[in-house]
Amino acid sequence: MKRFCLVAAILLVFPVYANADVTYTVKKGDTFSAISKRHKVSVKEILKLNHLRKSAKLKTGQNLIVKRTEAEKENIQPQTYTVRKGDTIYKIAKKFKMDVDELKDINLLDSDKLKKGQKLLLVAEELPAETKQIKTTKANLDEEIKNISESEELTSLDMQERLILFSKKFLNIPYKFGGSSSMGIDCSAYVQKVYSLIGINLPRSARLQFNEGEYINKDSLSIGDLVFFRTYASFPSHVGIYLGNDLFIHASSKDKKVSIDNLSAPYYLKRFIGAKRLLFEDKEDENIRPEG
């Protein structure tokens, strides 16, 4: 019994830190400086570990992380965050040094409203295994597109056919917020890239692309029209290219890659806000073949 009490007393004085953060409960009169000296760690490190500003004030009873285990140091950025009372999307983004739009996009948020207890992803989910395998072929994409652009077969296709041909060459390219290359691309960069391959220059963002072309009713959609959605913002924040038969192709943050989806799917049906046309039939235009 005496031996057990002795071991317990030793553990109280010298706690085992192998599998957990070293924490300290703030007492009355404590300062960051005093705590840092006691645990032989800098004030800057304590602030960083607890996501606190330099101007932060200590409160009696507050729990502070004063040291991390070696395993945790390797991945200090958490994967998720549980919303607390008083949190806002802007505060959370700033706390984890993220862009607000990126945080919204990762979590498919279409408003700034948060609920206490809500779990937010701080890191985009892992790409599906099949997408990772395709990653090895991306180096060939630019070469393939170049070969198509220089081929004689392309001259026999009208503008819609060219657009769809190029748009599908990007299938399974990984989605990356803010990305604009074959290594990772977002929705507006994808649309901009595909349209540029048929000689039409578009702005970089979905919001500005919504100002281009002619408004089209949903029941009048034609192949190549741009379809727009409100996702994480009140303005047009997502865009895709209509393929016909209620299908559209886009760089999807949900699928983590360029993919084809249905406009009638509940998620897109609810968020659809309009369509714009940039390709017009003109029998005098050598790039558009007359019907029949």
pLDDT at 133 over 90: no
Please tell me the predicted confidence (pLDDT) of residue 187: 94
Side-chain-side CA neighbours of residue 103 (13 Å): 23
Please tell me the predicted confidence (pLDDT) of residue 281: 63
Q: How far apart are CA 239 and CA 225, in angstroms?
A: 10
238 is known as an active-site residue: yes
Q: How far apart are CA 213 and CA 156, in angstroms?
A: 25
| Mean pLDDT across 119-128 | 66
Position with higher pLDDT, 66 vs 138: 66
Annotated catalytic residue within 5, 39, 51, 250: 250
Instruction: Tell me the residue ranges of DSSP E strands in the chain.
Output: 22-25, 63-67, 80-82, 119-121, 180-181, 184-185, 214-216, 226-229, 238-244, 247-252, 257-262, 272-277
Please tell me the predicted confidence (pLDDT) of residue 110: 63
Q: How far apart are CA 145 and CA 173, in angstroms?
A: 14
Per-residue pLDDT tens over the stretch 228-255: 999 877 789 999 999 999 999 999 988 8
Position with higher pLDDT, 49 vs 227: 227
Going along the chain from its start, the domains and CATH numbers come out as 1-74 (3.10.350.10), 77-123 (3.10.350.10), 129-277 (3.90.1720.10)
Q: How far from the centroid of its chain's Cα atoms is residue 130's Cα?
A: 19
DSSP one-letter string for 157-176: S-HHHHHHHHHHHTTTPBB-
Closest C-alpha among 214, 194, 223, 232 to residue 274: 214
Per-residue pLDDT tens over the stretch 29-75: 889 888 888 888 888 888 877 777 777 788 888 888 888 765 444 44
Please tell me the predicted confidence (pLDDT) of residue 20: 54
Judged by average pLDDT, the poorest of 35-39, 263-267, 280-284 is 280-284
pLDDT at 275 over 90: yes
Annotated catalytic residue within 5, 39, 51, 238: 238
Closest C-alpha among 21, 27, 94 to residue 60: 27
